Amino acid sequence: MSDAIKRIGVFTSGGDAPGMNACLRAVVRTAHEYGIAVTGIFRGYAGMIEGESTELTTRDVSGILQKGGTILKSARSKQFRTVDGRIAAAENVRKWQIDALIGIGGDGTLQGATIFSAEHNIPIICCPGTIDNDLFGTDYTIGFDTAINTAIQSIDRIRDTADAHNRLFLVEVMGRDAGFIALHSGIGGGAELVLIPESNQSMEYVKKRILETMSNQLRSSIVIVAEGDELGGAVHIASSLEDDSSFDDIEIRVCILGHTQRGGSPSANDRVLASRLGMASIDALVQGHTNVMIGIVHDRITLTPSEAVWTQKKIMNFDLMKLADVIR
């Protein structure tokens, strides 16, 4: 297939993640090693539909390894979910004389790539770029390591002020459908309780655990809450606690870390991971693979069919959940 591929298009899509630029850099430089030209497509599928692109040389990706976000910008496209939108995107891909595509993004990116490739016979390979780490077929996604380190830095600071006043802090982290960020940052930040979508806990249990911890240790307490936890997020949980007279003497504070977890310079681990995945995506493409996601499992590059990535659920490591419970 390497002889048939003269030009590839590369794009970043969905939520941004630290390390996307590092992946893009590796894609461009590896492609040029094979003698393949690269077109950068701005704003993901939206830019593909609207015809926003630029030529990318090795010099164009110099100095971006350490930058957060994505120099190609990102977007979520409702229009791409329609047949007409995908037709418009395919027309531009052909106009740009692109022979194959590399996408960097999450499950929505993978789903779009699967449908688009099937409808228009365009080879597409994806790299997992999402801070949520929730994609089947890879142990780690680009941006996850940076996000949990950012969260832990904030948790450490919150612990200082919590200890100064013996307060209860409910810290909400990202994770609408998965609790990987909450669990890892909770363990790394020494949280007394971690609440995630994968573990159904009653409000009664939460109240009991908090009261036991604060009365036994006579100190502050930090509860990490994934935004998608079934109890309704940190604000809702705080309101329920404040309505309970058992918490009348406990000062309760809420801190929502929000999009701070998406930004910032990528960690060393994310830079290396993103670079490995970016290079492997071009290697796989010239070897004739298509409709796969490049992942890493047990520190080895793997290829997983794109459809399997967004149709199968990544399983939480329940040993880590036990660890969080035991060493709180």
pLDDT at residue 8, rounded to an integer: 97
Determine the average pLDDT of the residues in 37-57: 96
Determine the average pLDDT of the residues in 72-100: 95
CA dihedral sign of residues 234, 237, 243, 247 = negative
* Active site (annotated) includes residue 132: yes
Q: pLDDT class for 164, splitting at 50, 70, 90?
A: confident
Determine the average pLDDT of the residues in 265-284: 98
CB 277 within 8 A of CB 21: no
| Stretch(es) of the chain classified as CATH 3.40.50.450 | 7-143+266-311
Which secondary structure element, helix H or strand E, spans residue 128, and what is its range? strand 124-128
- Write down the pTM of the prediction: 0.93
Q: pLDDT class for 200, splitting at 50, 70, 90?
A: confident
Residue 217 scores a pLDDT above 80: no
Q: Which of 99, 132, 134, 145 is catalytic?
A: 132
CA dihedral sign of residues 79, 82, 83, 86 = positive
| Stretch(es) of the chain classified as CATH 3.40.50.460 | 146-263
Tokens of 181: 């960020």
Residue 2 scores a pLDDT above 60: no
Q: pLDDT class for 112, splitting at 50, 70, 90?
A: very high
Q: pLDDT class for 301, splitting at 50, 70, 90?
A: very high
pLDDT at residue 209, rounded to an integer: 87
DSSP code for 99: -
| Number of residues assigned to the chain | 328
Residue 153 scores a pLDDT above 90: yes
Domain 7-143+266-311 class in CATH: alpha beta
pLDDT at residue 1, rounded to an integer: 52
CATH topology (fold) of 146-263? Rossmann fold (3.40.50)
pLDDT at residue 213, rounded to an integer: 82
